[in-house]
Amino acid sequence: NAGVIQTPRHKVTGKGQEATLWCEPISGHSAVFWYRQTIVQGLEFLTYFRNQAPIDDSGMPKERFSAQMPNQSHSTLKIQSTQPQDSAVYLCASSLPYWGASYEQYFGPGTRLTVL
Amino acid sequence: GEKVEQHESTLSVREGDSAVINCTYTDTASSYFPWYKQEAGKGLHFVIDIRSNVDRKQSQRLIVLLDKKAKRFSLHITATQPEDSAIYFCAARMPNYNVLYFGSGTKLTVEP
């Protein structure tokens, strides 16, 4: 079990460029979550999928952020026209469904995005 | 939505002493309370959790207490070791809803 895999680990973009972050959940986990971590705001929920379907994106900035889960093995978070305030560590987590044997969310190592 | 407050931003203890981190939450419906540990440059690592049907849970040197009436829960680390040094996050979750709401984190330093 390799755990949740996130790539790249570090990404530097110029203001206005696009950034795509990748997450590979643990095999068999049907829930995938994206969180953002900054010094100022702490850990914030962005969006989550269950069985590849988007369930809740209430934490996503509406205009430039989008997330997809095209298959069971990966999810992407895309940020268009990146701004310096998007600089953060983006964490992906996966879990069994809440009705499953374990509620635990397993986190990946994160992608540190720096927007210059 | 749920708001979780983590009361200690930093905590320093001597090796072998106990460390206590306290959190409060606002939504009485919250029923699941995990704790995560984050070491420098790494993601969150699950350490222990407690569900609302119990008020105490222990796993080796870790004890979690839950006071539903006060909407408060706490992590007790006994016989601390230098490798316990990290940032600890508490979180809360409501039933039938998977999203975790996190506290702001406590940086624990265990001094030899």
Q: According to the model, what pLDDT value does residue A102 have?
A: 57
Looking at the complex, does the CB of residue B46 fall below 8 Å from at least one CB of chain A? yes
- Indicate which of B99, B102, B104 best probes the interface with A, i.e. most A CBs within 10 Å of its own CB: B99
pLDDT band of A17, cuts 50, 70, 90: very high
Cβ distance A19 to A11 under 8 Å? yes
Q: Read off the pLDDT of residues A19-65 as tens digits, 9 standing for 90 and up.
A: 999 999 999 898 999 999 999 999 999 999 999 999 999 899 988 99
Contact predicate A48/A56, CB 8 Å = yes
Contact present, A5 and A111 (Cβ < 8 Å): no
A42 interfaces chain B, CB cutoff of 8 Å: yes
Residues 6+ apart with CB under 8 A from B64: B33, B35, B48, B49, B50, B56, B57, B58, B73, B74, B75, B76
pLDDT at residue A80, as a whole number: 97
User: Does B40 contact A at CB distance below 8 Å?
Assistant: no
Express each pLDDT in B26-51 by its tens digit.
999 998 999 999 998 888 999 999 99
Q: Which residues in chain A are closer than 8 Å to B99, comparing Cβ atoms?
A: 33, 45, 48, 56
Nearest by CB to residue A105, choosing from B96, B100, B105, is B100
Residues A81-104: tens digit of each pLDDT: 999 999 999 999 999 876 554 578
pLDDT at B94: 82
Work out the average pLDDT over A62-78: 94
Q: Is A98–B46 a contact, with Cβ atoms under 8 angstroms apart?
A: no
Question: How large is the average pLDDT for residues B10-34?
Answer: 95
Q: Which residues contact A80 (CB under 8 A, 6 or more apart)?
A: A18, A64, A65, A66
Contact B98 A107 (CB under 8 A): no
Supply the mean pLDDT for chain B.
94
Tens-place pLDDT, residues B54-70: 999 999 999 999 999 99
Q: For residues A95 and B79, which has the higher predicted lDDT (pLDDT)? A: B79
Asked if the model's pLDDT at residue A1 lies above 70, the reply is no
